[in-house]
Chain A
Amino acid sequence: MSLGARFLALAAACAFFELAGSAAPAAEIPLEQRRSGYELMAPETRAIQDDDATNPGMLWVLDGETLWNRKAGAADRACGDCHGDARASMKGVAARYPAFDPARGRPVNLEQRINACRSDRQKAPPLAYESKELLALSAYVARQSRGLPIDVTIDARTRPFLEAGRETFSRRQGQLNLACAQCHDDHWSAKLAGSPITQAHPTGYPLYRLEWQSLGSLERRLRGCLAGMRAEPYAYGAPEFVDLALYLMWRARGMKLEAPAVRP
């Protein structure tokens, strides 16, 4: 669908929300009614994701495995030199991110964690967001948590950031004056321009989106949503995005990770 058509559809949805129940506050989805976007996909797209032989995200996973074992930076160390076999050491890690980083005093996402390791331990320059290398490494790490339940830690240190993420999720923004929650909490059983509105559970990131013809991070997806709302997208790695990701992961707590997922 073209961007213009998508904008028109969103504008129509916006007008619809204005008419239908603008007074009703967004309600969180009951835990037992939560659905991964996987369940809303066509059987053909599910089949692509289900088979590693056809899932194009596995190309990035394989690249990530190569990078994991390649020495880099002034320290001339590979990820594997400290962390060993990722299949054991990285199991369940992606399901816990964003996680609190005492050095920064705030939660960091998986990409920031990888880059922190690069600059602190490997003495290598950080990888650019959405670069092939960073996507490959995060896909490889996330792959080790496939099938495990999402389990971010919410405690006294992370709760303020969770609340900030919740606030971003439910705040109206952009020229269309829409909040994330209006689509993804209130109207997830409906359709937008013929496509199902998902519940926005980040269960499969980084994931291969057929529309992108590539693997992409959660933040790329969020930027797409924000642009569609005609709001100014936050920069990659912005605190607002990490807080929002923390809220989304908490919202999807207990759901199984599918990385690298495939989505239309």
Chain B
Amino acid sequence: MARAVVTMAPQARRGEIVEIKTLAQHTMETGFRRTQTGELIPRDIIRTFTCTYNGVEVYRVDLHPAISANPLIAFTTVATESGMLSFQWVGDNGYAVTEIAPIRVE
């Protein structure tokens, strides 16, 4: 189960600053840990997170091994027009999750 949750207000006034909170379910295995028998646990992390607003990139993060499991990423954008926000998490071992959230701007 690779789950991601996006929380934001579904509507906003034009020009308003909108807060967006995202939570992605991921172990963020650093690649530095070893098992009890000494074998290295391979790295398995989310590498990038991007948010596009009607196709325009408004937010991007590169993630690194020091970032916690189930990373919470909260950010803001300016409500410009009604449409769709798309959120994409991409990581090691083919991990890719996309979520969308509609917004109505008045």
Binding site for B on A (CB under 8 A): 48, 51-54, 56, 58-59, 62-63, 66, 132, 210, 213-214
Contacts and interface: CB of A to CB of B under 8 A. Distances in A.
B3 A63 contact: yes
Contacts of A51: 21
Interface residues of B, number: 14
B6 to A, nearest CB: 9
Contacts of B69: 56, 213-214
B74 A54 contact: yes
B72 A54 contact: yes
B1 A63 contact: yes
B7 interface: yes
A204 to B, nearest CB: 17
Contacts of A53: 5, 7, 21, 23
Nearest to B71: A56
Contacts of B23: 53-54, 56, 58-59
9 contacts: A53-B23, A56-B72, A58-B23, A59-B3, A59-B23, A59-B25, A66-B1, A132-B1, A214-B69
Contact of A213 (B1, B7, B21, B68): B68
Shortest 8 CB-CB contacts between residues of A and residues of B: A53-B7, A213-B69, A56-B70, A53-B21, A59-B25, A54-B72, A63-B1, A59-B3
Interface of B: 1, 3, 5, 7, 21, 23, 25, 27-28, 68-70, 72, 74
A58 B5 contact: yes
Given A59-B5, A66-B1, A210-B68, 20 more contacts: A51-B21, A53-B5, A53-B7, A53-B21, A54-B21, A54-B72, A54-B74, A56-B25, A56-B69, A56-B70, A56-B72, A58-B23, A59-B3, A59-B23, A59-B70, A62-B3, A63-B3, A63-B25, A132-B1, A213-B69
Nearest to B70: A56
Contacts of A132: 1
B17 to A, nearest CB: 17
B48 to A, nearest CB: 20
A93 to B, nearest CB: 24
Contacts of A52: 7
Most interface-central of B3, B28, B68 (chain A CB within 10 A): B3
Nearest to B19: A53
Nearest to A67: B1
Contacts of B68: 210, 213
Contacts of A56: 23, 25, 69-70, 72
A17 B27 CA distance: 39
Contact of B5 (A62, A210, A214): A62
A59 B4 CA distance: 8
A241 B25 CA distance: 30
Most interface-central of A59, A66, A210 (chain B CB within 10 A): A59
A59 B28 CA distance: 15
A66 B25 CA distance: 15
Nearest to A56: B70
A205 B90 CA distance: 31
Most interface-central of A48, A53, A62 (chain B CB within 10 A): A53
A75 to B, nearest CB: 23
